[in-house]
Structure 1
Amino acid sequence: MKTITVIVRTFNVEWIIDQALTALMKQKGIHLELMIVDSGSSDATLEMVKSYPHQFLAIESGTYFPGKVLNRAIEKARTELIVFINSDVVLLDPYALLRLIQPLENTQVVASYGRQIIRPEADLWVRHDYERAFTTTGNQPEWMHYSLPIASMKKSIWETQKFYTDAWGSEDTQWGVKIKSKGYKIAYVKDAIAMHSHNYTLKQLASRRRIEGEADVYIYPHKSLSLISTILSFGASFLRESFYYIQNKHSEGIFYLLLNRIVYSWSFYKGFLSSSKSKSKITFGNYQ
Structure 2
Amino acid sequence: MVKCSLVIRCYNEEQHIDRLLSGIMQQTLIDREIIIVDSGSTDATVSIASRYPVKIVSIRPEDFSFGRALNLGCRAASGDIIVIASAHVYPLYKDWLENLLYPFQRPEVALVYGRQRGNEITKYSEHQVFAKWFPETPDPSQMHPFCNNANAAIRRQVWEKLPYDETLTGLEDLDWAKRAQRLGYQIAYQPEAEIVHVHDEPFSQIYNRYRREAIALKHILPQEHFHLWDFIRLFLGNTISDYYHAWCDRLLWENLTEIFQFRLMQFWGTYQGVPPTW
Say yes or no: TM over 0.5: yes
Residue 197 of structure 2 is matched in structure 1 by: 196
Q: Which SS does the other structure have where 2:170 is aligned?
A: coil
Kept in 2, the 8 Å contact 1:5–1:82? The answer is yes
Which amino acid in the other structure matches residue 269 of structure 2? S
**CA positional deviation for 1:242:** 2.0
Residue 150 of structure 2 is matched in structure 1 by: 149
Relative to structure 1, the CA distance from residue 116 to residue 4 in structure 2 (aligned partners, 3 Å threshold; closer, same or farther) is same
State which drifts further: 20-29 or 255-264.
255-264
Map 1:23-34 to 2 at 5 A.
23-34=23-34
Which amino acid in the other structure matches residue 223 of structure 1? E
Residue 126 of structure 1 is matched in structure 2 by: 126
Q: Deviations over 1:111-133 (max 9, x none)?
A: 10111121122221111111111
Kept in 2, the 8 Å contact 1:14–1:45? The answer is yes
Map 1:222-233 to 2 at 5 A.
222-233=223-234
The 2-side partners of 1:74 and 1:81 are apart by: 10
**CA positional deviation for 1:142:** 7.8
Residue 90 of structure 2 is matched in structure 1 by: 90
Residue 59 of structure 2 is matched in structure 1 by: 59
Residue 184 of structure 2 is matched in structure 1 by: 183
Which amino acid in the other structure matches residue 134 of structure 1? F
The 1-side partners of 2:239 and 2:31 are apart by: 46
Residue 170 of structure 2 is matched in structure 1 by: 169
**CA positional deviation for 1:177:** 2.4
- Using the size of structure 2 for normalisation, the TM-score is 0.91
Kept in 2, the 8 Å contact 1:133–1:144? The answer is no
Q: Which SS does the other structure have where 2:153 is aligned?
A: strand
Q: Deviations over 1:178-204 (max 9, x none)?
A: 222333211111111111131332211
The 1-side partners of 2:18 and 2:117 are apart by: 19
Kept in 2, the 8 Å contact 1:215–1:272? The answer is no
**CA positional deviation for 1:7:** 0.7
Which amino acid in the other structure matches residue 57 of structure 1? V
**CA positional deviation for 1:215:** 0.9
Residue 244 of structure 1 is matched in structure 2 by: 245
**CA positional deviation for 1:144:** 6.8
Residue 283 of structure 1 is matched in structure 2 by: none
Percentage identity across paired residues of the two chains: 25
Kept in 2, the 8 Å contact 1:168–1:211? The answer is yes
Relative to structure 1, the CA distance from residue 20 to residue 163 in structure 2 (aligned partners, 3 Å threshold; closer, same or farther) is same
Kept in 1, the 8 Å contact 2:81–2:153? The answer is yes
Residue 209 of structure 2 is matched in structure 1 by: 208
Kept in 1, the 8 Å contact 2:145–2:178? The answer is no
Q: Which SS does the other structure have where 1:225 is aligned?
A: coil
- Figure out how many residues of one structure are paired with residues of the other and give that number: 275
Q: Point out where structure 1 has 5 or more consecutive residues left out of the alignment.
A: 277-288
State which drifts further: 143-152 or 23-32.
143-152
Map 1:251-266 to 2 at 5 A.
251-252=252-253, 253-266=255-268
Q: Deviations over 1:240-270 (max 9, x none)?
A: 2222222222332334322332222111111
Residue 267 of structure 1 is matched in structure 2 by: 269
Q: Deviations over 1:22-53 (max 9, x none)?
A: 11011113411111111111111211122212
Which amino acid in the other structure matches residue 268 of structure 1? T
Residue 136 of structure 1 is matched in structure 2 by: 136
Q: Which SS does the other structure have where 2:275 is aligned?
A: helix
Q: Point out where structure 2 has 5 or more consecutive residues left out of the alignment.
A: none
Which amino acid in the other structure matches residue 198 of structure 1? H
- Using the size of structure 1 for normalisation, the TM-score is 0.88
Which amino acid in the other structure matches residue 10 of structure 2? T
